[in-house]
Structures are given as C-alpha cells and as structure tokens.
C-alpha cells in the first residue's frame, strides 16, 4: 500500500459513476483513498444506491449539504471540505466533472496548498450562463494534474494558454466508458426494470430533464415537455424524473403525456440505455453513454461540451422548442453514424489515471 493518500470529493450521480472505475484502479495499484460525499445529490435513488450497486467504498465523511443556492452550497462545502483536509492531510485532492462539489473541493484544497487532480478536465460549452461552465473553468485553472477525456478537451486548454502554466495535462480517455463496459453484463442479470415497466421487447425512447436552465424556466420546460409529448404520440417515451423537475412541472401545471418514473440506479439506466431506440437529454454524461450504447442522442440544450459527438453526427442539438425537438428526433433515428469510432479511449482510462497519479506523487 502506498504512503500517499488521495481525498476524493463526490456529490452527484455522474461523479459516483466515474469514481467507481478510479476507486477500483486505486485499489489495484495500492493507492489509499478517502471519500468525501458532499450530499449534493441526497435522494437515496440518486446517491446511496450507486455506492451499493457499484461497490464504491463507502464515504468516510458525509457533509449532507444540499437544497441551497449556488453560493450558499459552495461556501458550506468549502468550509466542510477544508476541515476534512486539515484532519486527513492528504497528498492530493481529486475532483470529478463540473458540479458545485467539484469547485468546492478544488478551492478548499488549493487554498491549503494541496495539489488538485481534476478528472474530466478541459471540457467547454462556451456558455458562461451555465454554472457548470464556471465550475469547470475555475477548477481546471487551479488544478495541478488535468485528466482530459478527449483530444478536443486538450485543445481547449491549449487555446486558453495552458502550455504556459505549471499544470500537467494527460489525455486519459473517459472513465465513464470504463464503467459502462465493466457493469453492463452485471446490470442485465441484476435488474428487472424492463419487465417492471412492461418494456421487454418493445421500442421506446429514454429521456431525462434536470438542468436548471431548463427546469427553472417555465417556457423552456413546457417546450421540452411538449416536444416529448409529440414524440410519445408515435413511440413511448420513458422519463426517470429528477425530484426537482417533478416539482416544477406541478407548480407550473405542465402536463406530461409520457411515462414519468422515479429516478433509477445506474444498473437500471444501463439496461434502459441498452434497450432504447434513442436518447433525449440535457445531461452531459448521458450524451456520452448514448454513444457508448450506439444510440442516437438529441440534446435538449443549445450547446454541448461534447462537441465531437455533434461533429460526428451522433448527437443533435435541439434546444427547447417542441417542433425542433421532434424534428431532431426524426433526423436522429434516421441517421447511421459510425459508432465504432474511438472517441473516448479503450476502456482503460481509470488505470491510466491511477498510474499517472502514482507517478506524479512519487
């Protein structure tokens, strides 16, 4: 076992999925890991179920910080993570993605002169109204070790002058691909979601809506729901619904005609992805997972950080207007892009990350 200790900060569903692969790689090469769960996703179906299903080591520290404004949430997380860093004295702090938990972990560490490791660095949507864009830009700038999933991500950093900074940039591939490959067969034998929803052998579309720019704007939310209603008139649409989105639909009297279900665990989502005809989403991670499972993806946003998916014809940006969403869906299901293209590595990103961290700390 290495003398080095990594403090990993997690808070949201996509981070649990990425952490599963990296935690397994750490164990394999003997790096000690302490996990902090900020509590950003606190719903049992969006948090604890991932730790159980994916055999992620249980968090040593839980902050239980959620349901606050961006400033209050991030501030309280920084305070809590700082206290834990001083207690644990790690060799480095590792953060994933672009949430408030990501930014809080990075800021707490860098102010204590602890190196920051950012997994999924270099992504840019070029929309500064997105809180995630601010989180990822600031986190990248204060990180010592930047793991980029794609060549596009590296180019983004180069365009921002990172060749003049002291941080180390590594193209690692995408850890979400590692995780999907590792768990898909186990998922098929351990979940009955298709049978439970009466979808076995049936054609359906999988959709998610959770991004604040969509859920907090009644016009946008109504446009997306109406677009999904149009598609549902032709082919069943299944939507695992974020609790906050459900609340917004009710408060604005927006009526979905498609089937809304509770949030699902990772295994259920893998099986739904594998069986569906197409994906409609405003999630960043699900756009990639659609590609992993060779499904056309319609993105319910005006831009995406995964530009290579749009350029390759795997993903169509549809925004929020119902007619655009329906038109993009029809275009997507009629297209046939080359899903064999190597965009996100070979499924060995986590081991590359673990090896690189061990080298960096030695």
Whether pLDDT at 74 is above 70? yes
Whether 148 and 265 map to the same domain: the answer is no
Tokens of 352: 């590359």
Whether 162 and 197 map to the same domain: the answer is no
Is residue 339 included in any domain, yes or no?
Answer: no
Whether 235 and 118 map to the same domain: the answer is no
User: Catalytic site residue 113?
Assistant: no
| C-alpha to C-alpha distance for 51 and 94, rounded to whole angstroms | 18
Residue 237: Cβ within 10 Å count: 25
CATH of the domain at 119: 3.40.50.2000
| C-alpha to C-alpha distance for 152 and 157, rounded to whole angstroms | 9
The label of the residue with tokens 């001083």 reads 86
Among 118, 210, 232, 242, the active-site one is 210
Whether 11 and 149 map to the same domain: the answer is yes
| C-alpha to C-alpha distance for 203 and 205, rounded to whole angstroms | 7
Whether 187 and 289 map to the same domain: the answer is yes
Is residue 74 included in any domain, yes or no?
Answer: yes
Tell me the HSE value of 262 on the side-chain side, using a 13 A CA sphere: 7
Angle at 48 between CA 357 and CA 61, to 5 degrees: 55
Residue 153's SS3 state is: helix
Percentage of residues in the chain with pLDDT exceeding 70? Answer: 98
Whether 197 and 126 map to the same domain: the answer is no
Q: pLDDT (tens digit, 9 = 90+) per residue, 161-196?
A: 999 999 999 999 999 999 999 999 899 999 999 999
Tell me the HSE value of 249 on the side-chain side, using a 13 A CA sphere: 18
Whether 73 and 54 map to the same domain: the answer is yes
Could you tell me the CA-to-CA distances from 195 to 259, 266, 321 in Å, in that order? 15, 17, 33
Contact 113, 154 (CB under 8 A): no
Is residue 252 included in any domain, yes or no?
Answer: yes
List, in sequence order, the alpha helices (H) in 41-150: 48-53, 70-88, 100-111, 131-141
Instruction: For strands 278-281 and 61-62, give the pairing.
Output: unpaired
Is residue 188 included in any domain, yes or no?
Answer: yes
Whether 85 and 117 map to the same domain: the answer is yes
Whether 21 and 133 map to the same domain: the answer is yes
Is residue 45 included in any domain, yes or no?
Answer: yes
Q: Taking each helix axis as running N to C, give the angle between helix 100-111 and helix 70-88, from 0 to 180 degrees, rounded to the nearest 10.
A: 50
> How many residues does this entry show for the chain?
362
Closest CA to 7 of 97, 103, 116: 116
Whether 158 and 210 map to the same domain: the answer is no
| C-alpha to C-alpha distance for 174 and 180, rounded to whole angstroms | 10
Q: Domain range holding 316?
A: 182-334
- Strand ranges, E, within 199-350: 205-208, 237-240, 259-261, 278-281, 297-299, 315-317
Residue-level pLDDT at 53:
80
Whether pLDDT at 1 is above 60? no
Domain count of the fold of the chain: 2
DSSP 278: E
Q: Which residues, in sequence order, are CB contacts of 194 under 8 Å at separation 6+?
A: 200, 271, 272, 275
Tell me the HSE value of 117 on the side-chain side, using a 13 A CA sphere: 24
Residue-level pLDDT at 43:
61
Residue-level pLDDT at 137:
98
Whether 165 and 194 map to the same domain: the answer is no
| C-alpha to C-alpha distance for 90 and 110, rounded to whole angstroms | 12
Whether 217 and 79 map to the same domain: the answer is no
Q: pLDDT (tens digit, 9 = 90+) per residue, 94-145?
A: 999 999 999 999 999 999 999 999 999 999 999 998 899 999 999 999 999 9
pTM: predicted TM-score of the whole model, two decimal places: 0.90
Q: pLDDT (tens digit, 9 = 90+) per residue, 300-339?
A: 999 999 999 999 999 999 999 999 999 999 999 999 999 9
Closest CA to 172 of 21, 2, 341: 21
Is residue 106 included in any domain, yes or no?
Answer: yes
Could you tell me the CA-to-CA distances from 114 to 109, 245, 322, 352 in Å, in that order? 5, 37, 47, 22
Residue 216: Cβ within 10 Å count: 12
Is residue 249 included in any domain, yes or no?
Answer: yes
Is residue 340 included in any domain, yes or no?
Answer: no
């Amino acid at each position: 076992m290495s003398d080095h200790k990594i403090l990993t900060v997690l808070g949201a569903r996509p981070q649990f999925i990425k952490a599963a692969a990296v935690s397994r790689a750490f164990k394999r090469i003997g790096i000690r890991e302490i996990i902090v769960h900020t509590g950003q996703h606190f719903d049992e179906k969006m948090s604890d179920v991932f730790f159980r299903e994916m055999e992620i080591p249980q968090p040593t520290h839980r902050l239980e910080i959620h349901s606050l404004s961006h400033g209050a949430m991030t501030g309280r997380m920084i305070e809590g993570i700082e206290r834990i860093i001083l207690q644990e004295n790690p060799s480095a702090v590792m953060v994933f993605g672009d949430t408030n938990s990501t930014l809080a972990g990075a800021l707490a560490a860098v102010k204590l002169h602890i190196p920051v490791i950012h997994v999924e660095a270099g992504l840019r949507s070029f929309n500064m109204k997105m809180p995630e864009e601010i989180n990822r830009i600031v986190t990248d700038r204060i990180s010592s070790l930047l793991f980029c999933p794609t060549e596009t991500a590296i180019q983004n950093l180069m365009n921002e002058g990172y060749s003049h900074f002291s941080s180390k940039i590594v193209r690692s591939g995408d850890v979400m691909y590692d995780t999907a490959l590792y768990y898909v067969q186990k998922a098929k034998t351990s979940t009955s979601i298709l049978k439970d929803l009466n979808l076995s052998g049936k054609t359906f579309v999988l959709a998610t809506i959770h991004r604040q720019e969509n859920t907090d704007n009644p016009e946008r939310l109504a446009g997306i729901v109406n677009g999904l209603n149009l598609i549902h008139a032709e082919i069943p649409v299944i939507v695992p619904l974020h609790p906050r989105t459900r609340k917004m639909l009710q408060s604005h009297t927006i009526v979905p005609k498609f089937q809304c279900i509770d949030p699902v665990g990772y295994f259920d989502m893998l099986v739904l992805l594998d069986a569906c005809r197409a994906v409609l989403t405003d999630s960043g991670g699900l756009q990639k997972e659609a590609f992993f499972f060779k499904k056309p993806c319609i993105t319910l946003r005006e831009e995406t950080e995964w530009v290579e998916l749009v350029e390759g014809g795997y993903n169509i940006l549809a925004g929020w207007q119902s007619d655009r969403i329906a038109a993009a869906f029809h275009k997507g299901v009629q297209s046939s892009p080359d899903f064999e293209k190597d965009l996100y590595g070979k499924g060995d990103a986590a081991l590359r990350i673990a090896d690189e961290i061990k080298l960096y700390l030695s």
